[in-house]
A and B are shown apart, each in its own frame.
Chain A
Amino acid sequence: MTQTIRVRINGTAREHAVEPRLLLVHYLREVCGLTGTHIGCETSICGACTVLVDGKAVKSCTMLAVQADGSDVTTIEGLARNGSLHPVQEGFWECHGLQCGYCTPGMIMAGVEILQRHARPTREQIAEGLKGNLCRCTGYVHIIDAIERAAGARRAERGVGGDLKW
């Protein structure tokens, strides 16, 4: 038996009949074709599948698509605006916040939430916010740099004395 869900994904309203057991990550990738969200461990550990549901970072492998009915979902594909990367994406680009890139979409989505919570996060707050995201390449230093840079960029964007200019 399928269930009809209505979800707003990256600003676009979608409606699909899905099996209740369909995981949100599979819905995004296989039904909506949004393969930017990655599947890593599928056990709520690695965070590669992190997306924002109603503005909150969640592991989309540990949520049913039917639970997202009526929600706003933002995936990595929804961050760039008018051809410009989101400050967190820009930070990863500038600071070389990735090597193989597999964990990157989840890291960036978690980074976006960190900046929602802390306008000026310390490196410790960034590391704590990334606790649920595993990277096996970088050793995390450049990832933390990237989010720290994005925080500065955002402040500059808002004209509140950011310390990074480009």
Chain B
Amino acid sequence: MIPATFSYARPTTIDEAIALLTKHGSGAKVLAGGHSLLPAMKLRLAQPEVLIDIGRIAGLNTIAERDGRVVIGTMATHAEIESSALVARACPLLGQVAARIGDAQVRNRGTIGGSLVHADPGADFPAAILALDAELRLASPRGSRSVKAAAFFEAMMQTVVQPDELLFEITVPKTATSAAYVKSEQKASGFAICGVAAIVDAQAKTVAVGVTGVASKPYRATAVEAALRGRALTPDAVAAAAALAANGVEPLGDIHASPEYRAHLAAVNTKRAILKAVAQG
């Protein structure tokens, strides 16, 4: 399997990358770790004329603390996020999710930015960034803008990122340890058939639940969150609320799981994720 021909550019600054994107428009694709794009190119599902490799832009994989938030550069690999001491301390959910992606080799190359922009419905990070209310920062010739995670995903493999925009960092609030990610995966690829990220705020008596793998785009399980607001998180209350985890969504069906099974997993994994988060609090 060999990709179609393309020309290759390797900018060394974000500005240079934006200039290339502006010049080549929708004929160009950004190459981050390549673990979503290259497989698509080998299958000729993607045939960009120009590939803009952002892998050598200095500082794009930085993981740091800024203004009370954790800032993750778009090129940070899953392995770097998984092993980051800062992530473990300040936003452990992201580290937990990173550790469950694919396999060791995939985590060594795959990046958070690449995964988010590719927006595969079975990708893991979307569940976490939705539950965390992450902000995604996009650079373009018009400057930069921030997009809330809830507004980022438009449809299957579609986000709000425009052809001349580059996702350059993701920022998340510092969060307590009361968070968990529970996933049922497709064994060969590791993609989520249903992945649920839950964050429990015991003081505010709220939960946040992000679900990936179930529908054509990841979503917040708002019915579950509403049912548990202000409530004591007893196993019975959590189970009753979790039954609403696929409310209002149209579950996907494929050779790995029927829509009914995905909806079932959404309820089961939501219950488990919330109870696991409670147990960690």
Contacts and interface: CB of A to CB of B under 8 A. Distances in A.
B160 to A, nearest CB: 27
Nearest to A3: B8
A39 to B, nearest CB: 10
Nearest to B2: A21
A44 B35 contact: yes
Interface in B104-128: 104-106, 108-109
Interface of B: 1-8, 10, 31, 34-35, 38-39, 41-42, 51, 53, 55, 79, 102-106, 108-109, 188-190
A110 B5 contact: no
Contact of A57 (B5, B102, B108): B108
Counting contact residues on chain A (CB < 8 A from B), the size range is: 20 to 34
Given A19-B5, A21-B5, A43-B1, A63 B38 contact: yes
A161 B102 CA distance: 34
Interface in A42-77: 42-45, 47, 50, 56-59, 62-64, 66-67
Contacts, number: 78
B108 A47 contact: no
A20 B5 CA distance: 8
A129 B104 contact: yes
Contacts of B55: 67
A63 B104 contact: no
Contacts of B104: 57, 110, 113-114, 128-129, 131-132
6 contacts: A21-B3, A21-B41, A23-B2, A57-B105, A62-B35, A133-B103
